[in-house]
Amino acid sequence: MVDNYTDTGTAVAGAGATEGLTYLNLVNRISSKRYNTITPDATQKTDCQLLCNDGYRKVLGGSYYDPQDRTWRHHDWSFLSPAATLIAFASVAVDADVKVTASTTTVTATAASFHPGMVGHSIVITGDATYTITGYTSTTEITISSSSTASGATFSIDSEKWAAMPATFGGMVDTFTYSSDNIGGSLQHITPGEMAKQWGATSNTGDPYQYALEARTFAGGTGQRWKVVWNCYPGTDRILDYRYRVLWSELATDDAYPLGGMLTNDAIYYAALSRHEEDQGGAGIYKARFDEEMFKAVKLDQGRGARNLGMMIPSGSSQFSRDVPTTGYTYTS
């Protein structure tokens, strides 16, 4: 499992998928019904794109009609709750053997030094200036808030007891759990207020056992972003597993694949055509077909769920949390 998060402000829309229909495929199919052509002109294409994204929102919204008991229900799509990893990273101290070189706003390190959760933190480049990390590309490359001409310079990054959450983060589904290093256990989710009480002496260092979620300063160009705050400074980099609710964005590029792939393709198509029917004065065959395809997609997605749920422990439960003191501790791992 890898953390492929890039804080660009763009939600992943089936990135890397090789199945199903692309945005352009869907738009052309919609055009064949709305305008009797699979090669719409610019104005027709824009209209069909609006219809397609209307259908996309309707499908991902999860409301569907269950013909078996003749009621409307809501479904939480499995692909909107992906498994992910996050690094609770330790502060990066100045190291004479690890240096960075900048080219305008791109900073490259001579050794693996960066993590996705560093976005929003400050990087201090020796002999140059302090910059805000604005994007993560790889463990050796990041982008910063303004141009730099640093070359072969040492640097430092303070973890500040927090890490950036993915740009698409919309809430926790499963709590953080240690995935390696034989640490074991899950972290307890507490409120920001409780976290402030737990901080105490700022020198506390170790393996986090509690976390709080806080909104980062809002930026109109990227939208709301979130961060996870730890109850101590991580003493070393730790890998945490978790699941979160995805905040998705509309389809925008011709080669984008809708979330859900083939599972949702037909439902999106008929949802768009049902909107087309509404524009023509009412609901008809396409609305009925949408209800059918949506129900089918939901049932297939429900079939992906676990057959054995195991012990019924609510998300965020501290039953398996590590047995460590909640105040007054100072230790290093």
Q: What is the CA radius of gyration of the chain?
A: 24
Going 284 to 287 to 291 to 293, the CA torsion angle's sign is positive
pLDDT at 269 exceeding the cut of 50:
yes
d(CA 312, CA 318): 13
Q: Residue 16 pLDDT > 60, yes or no? A: no
CB 136 within 8 A of CB 6: yes
Edge-first strand listing for the sheet containing 122-125:
100-109, 141-148, 130-138, 122-125, 155-157
Strand order of the β-sheet with 188-189 is: 162-164, 226-230, 210-215, 188-189
Place of tokens 């004479």: 96
pTM listed for this prediction: 0.79
pLDDT tens readout for residues 104-134: 999 999 999 999 999 999 999 999 999 999 9
Per-residue pLDDT tens for 187-197?
999 999 888 88
**For residue 200, what pLDDT is reported?**
60
For the four alpha carbons of 241, 257, 221 and 106, in that order, the dihedral sign comes to positive
Q: Burial letters for 34-47: b for 16+ Cβ neighbours within 10 Å, e otherwise?
A: bbeeeebeeebbeb
Res. 202 pLDDT band, cuts 50 70 90: low
DSSP annotation string for 138-161:
ETTEEEEEEEE---SB-EEE--TT
Q: Which residues contact 183 (CB under 8 A, 6 or more apart)?
A: 207, 238, 322
pLDDT tens for residues 214-235?
A: 998 877 777 889 999 999 899 9
Confidence band of 147 (pLDDT split at 50, 70, 90): very high
Q: Comparing C-alpha atoms, which of 181, 11, 195 is closest to residue 87?
A: 181
**Helix axis angle, 262-279 relative to 42-61, nearest 10°?**
120
Kindly report the three-state secondary structure assignment for every residue of 314-327: CCCCCCCECCCCCC
